[in-house]
Structure 1
Amino acid sequence: MARMVGRDPDRPVPPSRSRTVAAAWADLSRGFGQRELWLQLGWQDIKQRYRRSTLGPLWITIATGAMALALGLLYSLLFQQDLGFFLPHVTVGLIVWGFISGCVRDGAQVFIENEGLIKQLPSALSVHVYRLVWRQLLFLAHNMIIWAILVAVFRPHLGWSFWLAVPGFALLVANGVWVTMFFGIVSTRYRDIAPLLDSLIQLVFYMTPIVWTTRTLQEQGGAVAQRARIAEINPLYHYLEIVRAPLTGQPLAAYHWWIVLACTAAGLLLALAAMRQWRSRVSYWV
């Protein structure tokens, strides 16, 4: 009588079975379960990048702080804004933007740069995504030192709403995963996507209220105030607000959360669809 043998988990899944949403979700789950691997690899990336450097990742913090101080002082004078409000606004905006742009730019190269590991290491494809998001999260944590300094200097009234930043950061990380996965797969197949994203992210920076505020337009009243609503078309504005408002002591409307949650759900579905269709081909494209 034939003996039933279970399928070897390390054996490649046939293409017909791998092109399902369940298989795509299983890859995300299995990759998260291998967290000891991507946590170590992400930390090693930072150590390797700043090897023989005395300050290490603090160079990113110094650069971000210098840029925030320069832009905050300049635009607070140009827009006649209170420095105690405007400088934290710019600083937190730059910190969050660094995480978002890092996931987009580096995410477009995540599988291309890990060609050797993808072909030789029998692990889930999502391991490389978690590794990149973890690395960007470490950079963000270093940059939060600047925010702590501003809180000590300006002493904003944070209140209980400060804790809303925690789910805000969690949503940023969740979006970082799907953004990295989606653009990583698409950019591996179409190599022109990466330089295009690099140019677009610079353009979107100026379209997002980071070095300017919607309050500046609203204070002018009339038709100018109505134009402030144009900024709300940009979904990245809402991603910034769910973190920036709690960290700077500013009021946060509930609709920002609903927009971010809707974009997160849509993005995860988009990433799962891309994984279902092309996940098994990434190793051949790199």
Structure 2
Amino acid sequence: MTSQRDEADTPRSDSQTMSAAFRDLIRGAGQHELWLQLGWQDIKQRYRRSTLGPLWITIATGVMALALGLLYSMLFQLPLADFLPHVTVGLIIWGFIAGCIKDGANVFIENEGLIKQLPSALSVHVYRLVWRQALFLAHNLVIWVALLAVFRINVGWEVLLAIPAMLLIVVNGVWVTMLFGIIATRFRDVAPLLESLVQLLFYITPIVWTTHTLREQGGQVAERARIAEINPLYHYLEIVRAPMIGQDLAAYHWGIVAVITVVGLFATAAIMRQWRFRVSYWV
């Protein structure tokens, strides 16, 4: 045990480089057959012996969206045909983001056995989790298709912008999962803290409310609507939600998301450079 601790504390110049961190991400992506299969097995295992199987994901999200949409549309006196798509798409994207944050905090702890026994890149476990969350997201998109038919939402070619937006969110899911996974493995109090933080972020992110409604009220209320701009998750939601429900999208949302993505990737690479090889000793 002492020798293992000494090895963990010994500086490793070859591993502690930015290039080594990015090589881990590239190597993990190259092992796609492994994490694709593991992620799909997670879905099958979760809904084993269930009649509806993964459809429960769609049903649960649809019921939640309908309940919140009906409630808050009455409270805010908003047309259901406009507000329900806003809430629904927001919940769908939020499910992916929240899953990467909360499940990402435990991604290495839950894969302790594989980390110690399987000679693979550390990022394989991250890709597995993000792939699983992407499958959940794909299931929930069925609800959006149903809304387009029911409310006859007019979407033009701009809806295609949702595709690169989702890909960008998936890329962010990778660095978020890796970043919080390493930190939460080292400091075990981080995981429950993230649980509470995600719950708080849900209420301060425009999912069951809209910035447009606040701006229409004018005065100090309209000024408070600008506070939402500080929340980075607002911009992530907008680049996907606006094209999907036929709303105009300001270009600055893309700029903010792009900057956060680049900063996040390099911050995660720095954390990986410093702590990546110690994860197997912490789990």
Into which bin does the TM-score normalised by the smaller protein fall? over 0.9
Secondary structure, in 3 states, of the residue corresponding to 2:83? helix
Match of 1:224 among 217, 221, 227: 221
CA RMSD of aligned residues (A): 0.8
Deviation (angstroms), 1:61: 0.9
AA paired with 2:201? V
Equivalent residue number for residue 269 of structure 2: 272
Determine whether 1:43 maps to 2:40: yes
Offset, 1:223: 2.5
1:105 to 102, 106, 110: 102
Residues 29-55 of structure 1: CA distance to partner in whole angstroms, max 9, x if unpaired? 000000000000000000011110111
CA distance in 1, matches of 2:98, 2:126: 15
Question: Structure 1: 5+ residue runs without aligned partners?
Answer: 1-13
Taking the TM superposition and a 5 Å limit, the aligned residue runs for 1:1-286 are 15-286=12-283
Shift of 1:15: 1.9
Q: Identity of counterpart residues, as a percentage?
A: 75
Measure, in 1, the Cα distance between the counterparts of 2:106 and 2:157: 39
Per-residue CA deviation, residues 30-83 of structure 1 (Å, 9 max, x unaligned), is: 000000000000000000111101111111111110010010011001101111
Q: Tell me the residue number matched to 2:7.
A: none
Letter in 2 for 1:111: F
Aligned partner of 1:5 in structure 2 is none
Render the CA deviation track for 1:216-273: whole Å, top value 9, x for unaligned.
1111122321221111110000000000000000000000000000111111011101
Counterpart amino acid of residue 130 in structure 1: Y
Amino acid at match of 1:194: A
CA distance in 2: counterparts of 1:16 and 1:270, whole angstroms: 19
* 3-state secondary structure, aligned to 1:111: coil
Aligned equivalents of 1:255, 1:234: Cα separation in 2 = 14
Aligned to 1:7: none
How far has the Cα of 1:128 moved from its partner? 0.3
Task: Give the length in aligned residue pairs.
Answer: 273
Aligned to 2:6: none
CA deviations over 1:181-227 (Å, ceiling 9, x no partner): 00000000000000000011000100000000001111112232122
Alpha-carbon distance, 1:28 to partner: 0.3
Q: Aligned equivalents of 1:87 and 1:53: distance in 2?
A: 29
Letter in 2 for 1:85: D
Give the residue type in structure 2 aligned to 1:68.
A
DSSP 3-state at the match of 2:143? helix
Which amino acid letter does the alignment assign opposite residue 231 of structure 2?
A: N
Between 1:40-49 and 1:217-226, the stretch displaced more is: 217-226
Task: Give the TM-score, by structure 2 length.
Answer: 0.95
Q: 2 CA distance for matches of 1:50 and 1:145? A: 18
Aligned counterparts of 1:44 and 1:78: Cα–Cα separation in 2: 42
User: How much does 1:157 deviate?
Assistant: 1.2
Q: Distance in 2 between matches of 1:236 and 1:273?
A: 23
Query: What's the offset of the Cα at 1:97?
Result: 0.3
- Name the CA distance, whole Å, in 1 between partners of 2:181 and 2:95: 18
Amino acid paired to 2:226: R
Structure 2 residues without counterparts, runs of 5 or longer: 1-10
Structure 1 runs (4+) deviating above 6 angstroms are none
